[in-house]
Structures are given as structure tokens and as C-alpha cells.
Amino acid sequence: MSWDRASAVVFTMILLITPGLLWAQDVPQVIKAMGPWEADGVAYQIGAEKTLFVGKFSGIMVLEEKGEAFDAAEFTCPSTQEVDYAAGRSKSSGYCIFDTSGANKVFAKWHCKGAIGECEGAMEFTAGTGGLEGIRGGGVMKIRSFFMDISDTEEGEAMIDKAIGVVSWPELQVELEGD
């Protein structure tokens, strides 16, 4: 076989194999989502101008593009939030459980910090069930708070009867095993 013919065979083989290699690479799907939420819990005074909220926020995730597994997923996020009124800052962290269509669940952990009423950070998927088992990914998470209804308990803590806001995931990467 001549050098030119051998080169042509090798080149043809590369052309035939390359699309398969590109197809086999794990490419995460990127979704944009947001969701209104309500929260309830207890706020404890932990300093002269500091408060610690312990509770959960719950809502419905709405995707920008319809038809994905997370569209209309109900979420519950047990969390804590430390608010420093003197500095005008807060930081939060917790976990989220997403109940998706098809009775699958996705579990995530998150953290954020920012000005009071605004919090930006990250969320990371930790596990999934059913068709979402082995889920990986995550992305930026932004939380905004708008209103709180507060009442005092007999012990002197503040009960957060209702707080509302919105959470957004501007570019959430979702990767499933086998994708």
C-alpha cells in the first residue's frame, strides 16, 4: 500500500470515528428556572444586631423551556439564615428536595450570601431517584426575599409565620448518567 493510500485510509477512519466520540462525551443540559417560594420557621436573636432563622422555604420550579423533568417540580428547602443588621449582610445554607414529575426526587445542597433580602451563591445536586438517579451538576442560585409576617412566641423567639420571595437558577447544569 502506498503512503498516499495509507494516509487516506487513516484519514477516513478518523472521520468515521470522530462523530461517535463527540456523541459519547458527557454534555450537561443547561436549564433556566425560577420559582416563587414561601417560608416559615423561627428566628433567634444571636447577638445585639444578629438573627438566626431556622426553617424551610417551599415552592414550585418553573422552567423557561417547557417539558423538562424539573418543570413544575415542587421544592422544599430546609435552611438556616444568619442576618447581621449592623453590616446589612446575610448568609444562608441548606438542602433542597425536588419532587419532579414521574415521582422522581432530586436532592441538592446550597449556600449563598449577600445584602439583606438578596442572596447569591451556588447549588449542587447530590443524588436522585428513579430516572434521575446519578444526577450531577448545579449552578448559580439567587434568592430574593420580599415580605415577612412575624409574631413573638412565649419564649421570646420570633416566629416567621410567612415570608415570600423568589429563587432563580439562571444557568443550571443538569447531567444524568448515560447522557
* CATH for the stretch 28-175: 2.40.350.10
- Domain spans of the chain? 28-175
pLDDT at 34: 94
| Half-sphere CA count of 37, side-chain side, radius 13 A | 24
Rounded to two decimals, the pTM is 0.78
Asked whether residue 10 carries a pLDDT value surpassing 90, the answer given is no
pLDDT at 179: 54
pLDDT in tens, 77-100: 999 999 999 999 999 999 999 998
What is the pLDDT at residue 44? 86
